[in-house]
Amino acid sequence: MQFAQFDVAAFLNANWQKRPLLIRNPWKEWANPLEPDELAGLACEEGVESRLITHNGGTLALERGPFAEERFDTLSKEPWTLLVQAVDHYVPDVAALIEPFRFVPDWRIDDVMVSYANDGGGVGPHFDQYDVFLIQGLGCRRWRVGPVCDAQTPLVPHDDLRLIEDFEATDDFVLEPGDILYVPPGFAHDGVALGDDCMTYSVGFRAPSRAELAEAWTAHQVDAMAEDDRYADPDLSRQPHPGEITAEALDRLHGMVLASLADRDAFARWFGHYNSLSKYSETDWRPEEQMETEEVSVMLAEGHALHRNPAHRFAFIAAGEGVLLFVDGVCRECRGETAELARDLCAGGEWSGATPGEDALVLLTALINQGSLGFEEEDL
């Protein structure tokens, strides 16, 4: 799916991570990509992250899936909302919703969460730590947007939900099918279904915290450190007071820590690995029997296209004359034709073409056996 009209440059300049924006149906032709019954079916499957939020006299309660099919038959007329995470991993038409938003780098894109609500359903006033585009799929939803929140914002006491205690809206919008509301990180917002059969698609983005990066990168470096790499002071001289930790000692200690974390090339390789790890690994495309390069070559020569596993992340980092390709946490060094292939694979969509050279064919075969690429089932 594509936009008929949308000024990306103006949006990035005026709104991205700055202020919310209501985008009235910008699609060439909007068509809801998923039926409510299909969403409920996903919520019943093992390995699919799903939640059900019900209202009971103004009190919100959270249940986690997977759900038994009969659970949906027992819901009362009180407002309720079903939320299913990473639906793009299971439904290609939902995954297609991401394409128009790829003016944001792929490594920042998280997944597409889909919610279904009856009249009055919603998750309550809250704020997120990431950017989100809220696409109205079916029915109508009223969105109220408030000020920027932070860790000091008072929250309602609740075991499962982070709801804002004193929510005051500054903007009020009603979204109809095809409309989009962009909400930057930290902005309070509250969506309520107006009528039944209300479906919303949330295209969310990743934003690693400084603490998360520091903890993971430090742990990675620590794992590789030698036990005998220790503090040393061969030029030690007697100091005036034996109880003092001197500035010279602190400089040396501080330098040991900083030097162990300062290798930018090592950080690049680590982050490519870290960021490309699959959040949900249940979508397993690995073939029952490992494929050989000859088999892959024949399939490509016959015109069969390769498709990316939507649960696997593809990214590359420029490295000299080649690139480092990261797919599902695995790094591969690529040069020449293989580097061009790596860039093509990271561009998204299906891949097909003339049979590649030996090195490129080896790369494709490895990615197929890893479960990151695959031919259509009917082609096998």
317-339: pLDDT as tens digits: 999 999 999 999 999 999 999 99
CA distances from 62 to 55, 65, 135, 200 (A): 9, 10, 23, 19
Is there a contact between 87 and 39 (Cβ–Cβ < 8 Å)?
yes
Residue 213 pLDDT greater than 90, yes or no: yes
Query: With 70 as the cut, is the pLDDT of residue 194 above it?
Result: yes
Integer Cα distance of 296 and 368 in angstroms? 9
**In whole angstroms, how far apart are CA 239 and each of 231, 233, 235, 242, 243?**
18, 13, 12, 6, 9
Is 117 a residue whose pLDDT tops 60? yes
CB-based contacts of 208, cutoff 8 Å, min separation 6: 275
Beta-carbon neighbour count of residue 265 at 10 Å?
Answer: 10
- Give me the pLDDT at residue 378, please: 60
Written as six digits, the tokens of 252 are 């040396």
Torsions phi, psi for 295 (to 5 deg):
-65, -45
Per the CB < 8 A criterion, the answer to whether 139 and 197 are in contact is: yes
Domain-by-domain residue ranges, the chain?
A: 8-205, 216-262, 293-379
Mean pLDDT on 173-180: 98
Q: 138-172 in b/e burial notation, b at 16+ Cβ within 10 A? A: bbbbebbbbeebeeebeeeeeeeeebbeebeeeee
- CATH for 8-205 is 2.60.120.650
More confident residue, 133 or 353: 133
HEC per residue, the chain: CCECCCCHHHHHHHCCCCCCEEECCCECCCCCCCCHHHHHHHHCCCCCCEEEEEEECCEEEEEECCCCHHHHHHCCCCCEEEEECCHHHCCHHHHHHHHHHCCCCHHHEEEEEEEEECCCCCCCCECCCCCEEEEEEEEEEEEEEEEECCCCCCECCCCCCCCECCCCCCEEEEECCCCEEEECCCEEEEEEEEEEEEEEEEEEECCCCHHHHHHHHHHHHHHCCCCCCCCCCCCCCCCCCCCCCCHHHHHHHHHHHHHHHCCHHHHHHHHHHHHHCCCCCCCCCCCCCCCCHHHHHHHHHCCCCEEECCCCCEEEEEECCEEEEEECCEEEEECCHHHHHHHHHHCCCCECCCCCCHHHHHHHHHHHHHCCEEECHHHC
CATH of 293-379 among 3.40.50.10800, 3.40.50.920, 3.40.366.30, 3.90.1150.10? 3.40.366.30
pTM for the whole thing?
Answer: 0.93
Token output for 257? 């820590």
**Residue 143's closest CA among 203, 190, 185, 194?**
190
The mean pLDDT value for 26-44 works out to 97
Question: What is the CA 143 to chain-centroid distance, rounded?
Answer: 23
The C-alpha atoms of residue 262 and residue 168 are separated, in whole angstroms, by 44
Average pLDDT, the chain: 95
pLDDT of 76 strictly over 90:
no
Q: What is the CA radius of gyration of the chain?
A: 25
Distance CA 252, CA 100 (A): 51
Confidence of residue 379 (pLDDT cuts 50, 70, 90): low
Question: What is the per-residue pLDDT for 355?
Answer: 80
Residues 135-155, mean pLDDT to the nearest whole number = 97
Say yes or no to pLDDT of 380 above 70: no
Vertex 320, ends 314 and 322: CA angle to 5°? 45
pLDDT bracket for residue 149 (50, 70, 90): very high
- pLDDT digit string (tens) for 225-265? 999 999 999 999 999 999 999 999 999 999 999 999 999 99
